[in-house]
């Protein structure tokens, strides 16, 4: 943090899915001024946005749309605000998921979310090692080692693509983190991943602090 400067305000999108409070508290431990936001208008003034998610892709996509927070999320993404998707929140960054062919994601990253490989237990519910993808630098993962242990709970994951910056081994390589410009995603739960997770969230908080503050819409 810059000495004497206020901590960044990070909006944790509250669309009624899962234990959002745990993500908020973990971000606060990492040094961010994080708060749950359910009003789409409040997202406009945030220095960073976090989209958590647990459960089914289709249910999360519908709840995000029904609350108006999908539009607010897309607006933040288009303005270059640092944006972090966690677990199903990462999956929602993509175009869709074979878990629910009728549901659509935010579509800011190309690709489809696929079921984990056959022959392994579904869901993956365990600690697993991150494997950084050679030749793909990551601002989000700068503070973690090449094979950090993090905690996963999921049955689906995005396809590995040029945006994948880390994988884990679960019946084969599985996308564990993605990054493109201001868009970041982690398939694991940093709020449940001990010191490694806090370092990842601290890196995100630092990017929010360094990013130009978005203009808050003028009062009508």
What is the tens place of the pLDDT at every residue in 37-84?
A: 999 999 998 999 999 999 999 999 999 999 999 999 999 999 999 999
Domain ranges of the chain: 9-210
| Cα–Cα distance, 18 to 218 (Å, whole number) | 33
| Model confidence at 5: pLDDT above 80 | no
Name the band, by pLDDT with cuts 50, 70 and 90, for residue 218.
Answer: very low
| Cα–Cα distance, 40 to 74 (Å, whole number) | 11
| Cα–Cα distance, 109 to 129 (Å, whole number) | 24
Name the band, by pLDDT with cuts 50, 70 and 90, for residue 7.
Answer: low
The pair of three-digit structure tokens given for residue 93, joined into one six-digit string: 């960054």
| Cα–Cα distance, 130 to 128 (Å, whole number) | 7
| Model confidence at 163: pLDDT above 90 | yes
| Cα–Cα distance, 152 to 94 (Å, whole number) | 19
CATH number of 9-210: 3.40.50.880
- Give the pLDDT of residue 147: 87
Name the band, by pLDDT with cuts 50, 70 and 90, for residue 8.
Answer: low
- Give the pLDDT of residue 214: 53
Q: What is the pLDDT of residues 86-139, one digit of tens each?
A: 999 999 999 999 999 999 999 999 999 999 999 999 999 999 999 999 999 999
Q: Which of 175, 193, 155, 186 lies closest to 56, judged by CA? A: 155
Contact 81, 43 (CB under 8 A): no
pTM of the model: 0.93
Q: What is the pLDDT of residues 18-34, one digit of tens each?
A: 889 999 999 999 999 99
Three-class SS state of 165: strand
Contact 84, 48 (CB under 8 A): yes
Q: Which of 195, 203, 119 lies closest to 151, judged by CA? A: 195
SS in 3 state form for 5-66?
CCCCEEEEECCCCCCHHHHHHHHHHCCCEEEEECCHHHHCCCCEEEECCCCCHHHHHHHHHH
Contacts of 16 (CB under 8 A, 6+ apart): 63, 67
Task: Tell me which residues are annotated as active site.
Answer: 87, 189, 191
Name the band, by pLDDT with cuts 50, 70 and 90, for residue 215.
Answer: low
| Cα–Cα distance, 70 to 90 (Å, whole number) | 13
């Amino acid at each position: 943090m810059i000495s004497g400067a206020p901590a960044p305000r990070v909006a944790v999108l509250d669309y009624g899915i899962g234990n959002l409070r745990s993500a908020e508290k973990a971000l606060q431990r990492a040094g961010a001024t994080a708060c749950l936001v359910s009003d789409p208008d409040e997202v406009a003034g945030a220095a960073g946005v976090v989209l958590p998610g647990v459960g089914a892709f289709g249910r999360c996509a519908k709840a995000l749309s029904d609350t108006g927070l999908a539009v607010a999320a897309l607006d933040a993404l288009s303005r270059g605000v640092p944006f972090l998707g966690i677990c199903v929140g990462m999956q929602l960054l993509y175009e869709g998921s074979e878990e629910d062919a009728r549901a659509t994601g935010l579509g800011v990253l190309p690709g489809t979310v696929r079921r984990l490989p056959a022959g392994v237990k579904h869901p993956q519910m365990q600690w697993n090692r991150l494997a950084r993808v050679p030749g793909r630098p990551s601002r989000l993962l700068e503070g973690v080692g090449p094979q950090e242990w993090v905690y996963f709970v999921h049955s689906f994951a995005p396809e590995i693509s040029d945006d994948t910056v880390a994988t884990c081994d679960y019946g084969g390589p599985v996308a564990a983190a993605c990054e493109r410009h201001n868009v970041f995603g982690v398939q694991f739960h940093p709020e449940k991943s001990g010191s490694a997770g806090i370092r990842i969230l601290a890196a995100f908080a630092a990017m929010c602090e360094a990013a130009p503050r978005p203009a808050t819409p003028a009062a009508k």
